[in-house]
Amino acid sequence: MSDKSPKPQEPDTDVHDDPDEPAFDWMKPKASGGTSPAAGSAPAAASASKASAAPATPTGKQPPTGKQPPTGKQPAAAAASQPSTPTTGQPGSRADRKAAEAADAEPEPPLFADTVAGRPSHYSEPLPTSALSVRPPEEEVARRNAEREQAAKVKPIGPRVFQVLLAVFYPVILLVLAVRAVTSPLFLWVEYNRPGFPGDGYGFSTDDRMTYGSYAVDYLSNWAGPRYLGGLVNQDGAKLFKDSEVSHMADVKVVMLSSFGAGLLLIILSIIAIIYLRKRSAGGVRRGLFAGSIVTLVIIIGLAVLAVLSWQQFFTEFHRIFFASGTWTFSLEDTLIRLFPGQFWSDAGIVIGGLVFLAATLTFIFTWPTRRRRGVAAEPVADAGDEEQEEEPASGEEAVRR
């Protein structure tokens, strides 16, 4: 083979085989006279059709045009890859050609494919959630479950604290309210007019007792000074209360006002505790009041037993706790003894204990932890009719089988 002999040309590299290919329109020279490629495409398409209709030239001779003729039929893949374009009309735009080329191209393999060309890849990127599919050891699972169950069983400390405070405040509040009910003109009127109450042997009538006793009771709950009682005079112009009596009533007033103030403060704190428990703990108010009622009943029953066994000793020890020795003892002729004899204090103690006991008992009953109050569903009761049907003997074939 000499250098002048024609070299065989690969069928896939012949770029002039299909002159109608739109991708090579930009390589064609523009027609003279400033005509656009679109205008000159029609003669080119006609010449291309004539060339295709002409018989194939032998391979041993060079064509007169100096171009290499096609060596034969093109492969099927190349023929299929060439798009069929009409011989007439304007070819598609460049965007359309790009879209056609992208559609014909093979899809690229994924970035993190497990295999490349059928072979296992050397590198595989783990998925972000691949660690979630790995189950920890059984010991770790058991430990986590135990911690979760323990955390669910542990109750917060806040509701427990408020329940304890409510249980502690409740008996004190009841006692203060009962004392306030006794230190009122209504209780005086009931006492002075009830049958069996001892009269005054030194001349006070029931109206005198009611008038002077109301001054003494009002003094315990108002903000007046000692002159409120020290300025009172008897019918003969003498002072109604001695200085020692006025001093003792001033001491009693301090104790009473302090008790009322403490009771009011505990009521406010109890309301706050109730509001907190209603929001944070289901049934917390009921449990706190239930415990408080039990504590109140235990205290009031214990004090009642001591008072019944020895009332005088109980009364003396009570005054020793709040008052200095020698400041609360008086003679039978003094006004305080004539207005408030020993029977009055016995009745006052009975009324205070009875009111506290009644309130604590009602609270105990209404806060008793029943199934409905605890939110526990009742156990289903089997229907009597169903039991009878189950106990009925079988008849017919079933009886024969048995």
Q: Which amino acid is at 218?
A: D
Strand partners, 239: 233
Which residue do the tokens 């505990």 mark?
266
Neighbours of 182 (CB within 10 A): 19
Q: Render pLDDT for 140-194 as a digit per residue (tens, 0 to 9).
A: 888 888 888 877 777 778 889 999 999 999 999 999 999 999 999 999 999 999 9
pLDDT band for position 211 (cuts 50, 70, 90): very high
Question: Where residue 62 falls among pLDDT bands split at 50, 70, 90?
Answer: very low
Q: How far apart are CA 283 and CA 304, in angstroms?
A: 32
**Weakest mean pLDDT among 95-109, 146-160, 167-181, 196-210:** 95-109
Q: Which helix (H) or strand (E) holds 115?
A: strand 115-116
Give the residue with greater pLDDT, 109 vs 61: 109
More confident residue, 62 or 179: 179
Q: What is the CA radius of gyration of the chain?
A: 56
pLDDT of residue 24: 56
CB 171 within 8 A of CB 292: yes
Q: Work out the percent of the chain whose per-residue pLDDT is above 70.
A: 61
pLDDT tens track for 324-373? 888 888 998 999 999 999 999 999 999 999 999 999 999 999 999 887 76
pTM of the model: 0.57
Q: What are phi and psi of 115, to 5 degrees?
A: -130, 150
Report CA 129 to chain centroid distance, whole Å: 30
Average pLDDT over residues 36-61: 43
Contact indicator for 228, 219 with CB cutoff of 8 Å: yes
Q: Which of 40, 35, 72 is nearest to 56 (CA)?
A: 72
Other beta carbons within 10 Å of 121? 13
Q: Burial, 156: exposed, middle or buried (Cβ in 10 Å; 0-12, 13-18, 19+)?
A: exposed
